[in-house]
Structure formats: C-alpha cells, structure tokens
Amino acid sequence: MTDEDSKITELDPSKLGTKDYWENAYKLELNNYTDHGDVGEVWFGEDAGQRMVNWLSEHPEYVQPSDPILDNGTGNGVLCMDMEQEGFTDITGIDYCQEAIDLAEKIKEEAESQVKFQVGNILDKESSFFKSKFKVVTDKGTYDAISLSETAKVDKVTYIENTHYVLEKDGLFMITSCNWTEQELVTMFSTHFKHLETIPTPSFTFGGKKGNSVTTVVFNKIDL
C-alpha cells in the first residue's frame, strides 16, 4: 500500500449500504408513482445528472450518440432518459433491485422511451449485462452505497475490477459521489483507470475552507 492509499479511510457501515433499504425505498417510490406520478428522489439533484449528460454531449471525441452506455445503479432511470433526450440511442440501465427496475419501466412507458432496463448487479459477473461491452459506464451514487456496506472493502475492489471489465477498450467511466473527494476517487480507481477530467461542481465555503458537496470525475479505462 502506498502512502496515498493509506489516506483512504473506510466509511462506517450504514443502512444505505443494504439491499433491504433500497428495496423498501423503491417499493415506496413505485407506489407513489402509481398513485400520483412522482418519479421519486433524484440523487444529488437534477443538476448533478445534467452535468454528466452535458459533458458526454460536449465531448464527441470520446463518445458518439450511438455508443453503448451503461448506467450502473439506475434507480428510477431518469439519468438514462435524460441521456436519451440529449440524443444518445443505446442506453442500458441496471439496478440490483427489481422494484427500481419496475419504477424505471413505468416512467419509461409514460415517456415513450427506448432505454433498456434490467435487473443486474455490478458485483455479480453472472448478471446478463456482462455479456456486452460498453463505451461508457455512468454511476450517480452507486459506488457511494457500496462504500457503506458491511463488506465495503472487498466490494469496492470488485466494483472497480468489474467496471473495468465491462468497458470497451479506451472506454469511459463517469462517477458522481458525495462520499468521496476527487483525490480519493482518483486514488481508489488508479489501479484500473486514468483520471481524464473532473467536472466542475458548485462549491461552498464554511469556516474559511472551500469544498464541494458532490464530486464528478471522468476516467479512461487503462490496459492492464
């Protein structure tokens, strides 16, 4: 372990790192959507997802509209449908909760979307989406949730390895996190990815120190 790696401190486990929590949360959101059309919580706010979509659309040198994109931990699928509205045509959203996929499918139907949704777990290579390769993998909050599980230390390594595996050569990985700083993300993913760019996010100043509530980082897959 390098001095840089030793600075990474594991987070305390939380209910946010359990599948039961997310199944119950999306069951409630599915009922709410059925009752009154509420799509549910948009993690980190709508601006966070839009920054990701804007970056992809503004960098045709890295990604074309027809390139396959995987949204990992898609939840209600809104990020996928935002990418579709921007002109991307081959988008797959996965989530390990059936309830989340059911919600995404309902929203998709109402929006007349062509996004593909399926149950899948980035930690489980038996998931069917591993049969495909993607030019881009996006993550808005999934790595954060994994980082809060009882088995986070092992799961984070598996996450990084499997994300690398499912990407095409020179593929892009884009992550938005509220639990980890830019430097921490760059350090943790450096075994399999090269830091390409950090997307500017709103900053705040408190007690004379400047910081960000969320961090969005873009990585390139590296050959191993």
Q: At the top level of CATH, which class does the domain 5-221 belong to? A: alpha beta
Three-state secondary structure call for residue 17: helix
Q: How many residues make up the chain in this entry?
A: 224
pLDDT at position 201 is 81
pTM of the model: 0.90
Say how far apart CA 3 and CA 11 lie, in whole Å: 19
> Around Cβ 41, how many Cβ atoms within 10 Å?
12
Plot region of 8 (φ>0 → left; ψ -120 to 50 → alpha; else → beta): beta
Q: What is the pLDDT of residues 188-218, one digit of tens each?
A: 999 999 999 999 986 544 444 444 578 999 9
Tell me: the pLDDT tens digits for 50-93? 999 999 999 999 999 999 999 999 999 999 999 999 999 999 99
